[in-house]
């Protein structure tokens, strides 16, 4: 019998890896977020697969199946997996907590990281991004001059290093801890006052990890991500590009189903430069032999920015994440969205009672319209919307 995938949403995987213990527990608000947003993983699977979710999903599942889209089986309890050896665990991201909890379900063919090895902990840190940046910087100038050369992040080992870098970058610098995700562990320093305020945090992180990484803040026009996968045969595949918004602190805001309107007439033909960027990143991953250490999705954050002369350029590597990410979810969603539809989706926080009311209002106000079997217009629930739910994900195509 072929294996089915069982998807597990554990967005605090990076924090768990940094902690390094098998007893790590995320803060309560993040555990609530994890539970409420867990249905997002459903879009990575088919009706033959499973997701672990403690939310009531009948209404959400009926919404999607009524439109003739697949929706995985829902398991309420993780323990159901421990006696079923026909499931391959597919977490949002690996950590020692996942490998310990589900060790009995491991199959002989599936990649699992070994967290007893210190190198594995480093693999899931920003050191991997640093190594990829070094390889990208060695490459010849891209054929498409729309692709901007990479700068290697600076290692900040003392406050004076940050002061020196800040003096050379008028837009400021961003400081990054070695383990964090979704905007956590980022500090934006735009002037000397910011650096002074940040100094206790920076001193603590340098003491904890020996250094932090720093990059110049660019004049951002649009966030983007490039999605890859490394399969069990050590093959690299480029899956596509996404466009998303992050707030001023680097936290996820929303994903666009297709190219945002404001970029459509300003970026070059996508076939050429995007293919070149993808090959550059794949060659860099091969150069550090990433396939020998990791199998699974790789999300590479990038951005469009303006140079000091006002030219629009593409910066191909801000961050590489060896895990699932919102861009991967977006690629799966795009397969259900009409190519002519313009819209986006986001995760929103709600007060008690607000989520259920919001859902009822939106379903009535913006009913879904299909064209050619794909969603062309309307409100799109991506999670449940229960009475006491604090977080929910939804999309809208006006």
Domain shared by 186 and 298, yes or no: yes
Instruction: Of 55, 57, 108, 100, give the one whose Cα is nearest residue 82.
Output: 100
pLDDT category of residue 84 using cuts at 50, 70 and 90:
low
pLDDT exceeds 90 at position 292:
yes
pLDDT of residue 80: 62
CATH number (domain holding residue 287): 3.30.470.20
pTM of the model: 0.94
pLDDT of residue 82: 58
Greater model confidence, 80 or 385: 385
pLDDT of residue 181: 61
pLDDT exceeds 90 at position 201:
yes
Contact 285, 132 (CB under 8 A): yes
The domain boundary residue, chosen from 299, 322, 345:
322
pLDDT of residue 87: 75
Highest mean pLDDT among 84-98, 247-261, 289-303: 289-303
Can you say whether the dihedral through the CA atoms of 22, 26, 31, 33 is positive or negative? negative
Domain shared by 231 and 93, yes or no: no
Domain shared by 100 and 135, yes or no: no
Domain shared by 83 and 171, yes or no: no
pLDDT exceeds 70 at position 182:
no
The domain boundary residue, chosen from 294, 322, 350:
322
Quick one: what percent of the chain has pLDDT higher than 90?
Answer: 81
Question: pLDDT by residue (tens digit) across 86-105?
Answer: 678 899 999 999 999 888 77
Range of the domain at 369: 4-121+330-397
Question: pLDDT by residue (tens digit) across 34-58?
Answer: 999 999 999 999 999 999 998 889 9
Domain shared by 17 and 78, yes or no: yes
Instruction: Of 76, 87, 82, give the one whose Cα is nearest residue 48.
Output: 87
Average pLDDT over residues 71-78: 85
pLDDT exceeds 70 at position 226:
yes
Domain shared by 189 and 315, yes or no: yes
Residue whose tokens read 């800040």: 166
Domain shared by 87 and 236, yes or no: no
Domain shared by 301 and 341, yes or no: no
Query: Three-state SS for 214?
Result: strand
The domain boundary residue, chosen from 266, 301, 322:
322
Domain shared by 171 and 300, yes or no: yes
Domain shared by 295 and 147, yes or no: yes
Give the chain's mean pLDDT.
Answer: 92
How many structural domains compose the chain?
A: 2
Instruction: Of 43, 347, 392, give the one whose Cα is nearest residue 182.
Output: 347
pLDDT exceeds 60 at position 298:
yes
pLDDT of residue 126: 96
Domain shared by 225 and 360, yes or no: no
pLDDT category of residue 142 using cuts at 50, 70 and 90:
confident
Report how far residue 391's alpha carbon sits from residue 98's, in angstroms, rounded to the nearest whole number: 23
Long-range contacts formed by 78-81: CB under 8 A, 24+ apart: 78/8, 78/52, 78/102, 81/6, 81/52, 81/105
pLDDT exceeds 80 at position 347:
yes
Domain shared by 130 and 231, yes or no: yes
pLDDT exceeds 90 at position 185:
no
pLDDT of residue 162: 97
pLDDT of residue 369: 98
Q: Which two tokens stand for residue 263?
A: 């970029």
């Amino acid at each position: 019998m072929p294996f089915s995938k069982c998807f597990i949403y554990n967005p605090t995987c990076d924090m768990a890896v940094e902690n390094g213990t098998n007893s790590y527990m995320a803060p309560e608000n993040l555990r609530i977020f994890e539970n409420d947003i867990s249905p997002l993983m459903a879009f990575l699977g088919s009706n033959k697969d499973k997701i672990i979710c403690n939310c009531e999903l009948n209404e959400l599942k009926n919404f999607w199946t009524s439109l003739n889209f697949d929706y995985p089986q829902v398991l309420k309890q993780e323990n159901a997996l421990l006696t079923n050896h026909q499931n391959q665990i597919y977490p949002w991201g690996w950590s020692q907590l996942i490998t310990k909890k589900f060790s009995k379900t491991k199959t002989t063919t599936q990649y699992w990281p070994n967290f007893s090895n210190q190198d594995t902990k480093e693999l899931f840190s920003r050191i991997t991004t640093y190594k990829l940046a070094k390889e990208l910087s060695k490459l010849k100038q891209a054929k498409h001059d729309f692709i901007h050369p990479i700068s290697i992040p600076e290692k900040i080992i003392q406050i004076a290093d940050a002061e020196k870098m800040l003096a050379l970058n008028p837009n400021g610098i961003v400081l990054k801890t070695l383990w964090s995700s979704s905007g956590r562990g980022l500090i934006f320093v735009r002037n000397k006052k910011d650096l002074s305020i940040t100094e206790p945090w920076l001193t603590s992180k340098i003491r904890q990890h020996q250094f932090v990484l720093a990059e110049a803040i660019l004049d951002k026009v649009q966030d983007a991500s490039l999605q890859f996968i490394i399969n069990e045969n050590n093959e690299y595949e480029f899956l596509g590009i996404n466009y998303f918004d992050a707030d001023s602190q680097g936290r996820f805001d929303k994903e666009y189903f297709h190219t945002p309107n404001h970029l459509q007439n300003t970026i070059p033909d996508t076939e050429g430069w995007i293919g070149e960027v993808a090959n550059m990143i794949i060659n860099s991953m091969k150069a550090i032999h990433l396939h020998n250490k990791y199998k699974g999705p790789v999300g590479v954050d990038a951005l469009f920015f303006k140079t000091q002369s006002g030219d629009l350029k593409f910066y191909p590597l801000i961050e590489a994440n060896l895990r699932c990410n919102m861009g991967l979810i977006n690629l799966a969603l795009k397969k259900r969205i009409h190519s002519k539809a313009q819209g986006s989706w986001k995760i929103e926080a709600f007060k008690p009672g607000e989520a259920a009311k919001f859902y009822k209002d939106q379903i009535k106000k913006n009913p879904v319209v299909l064209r050619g079997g794909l969603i062309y217009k309307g409100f799109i629930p991506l999670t449940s919307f229960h009475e006491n739910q604090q977080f929910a994900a939804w999309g809208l195509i006006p």
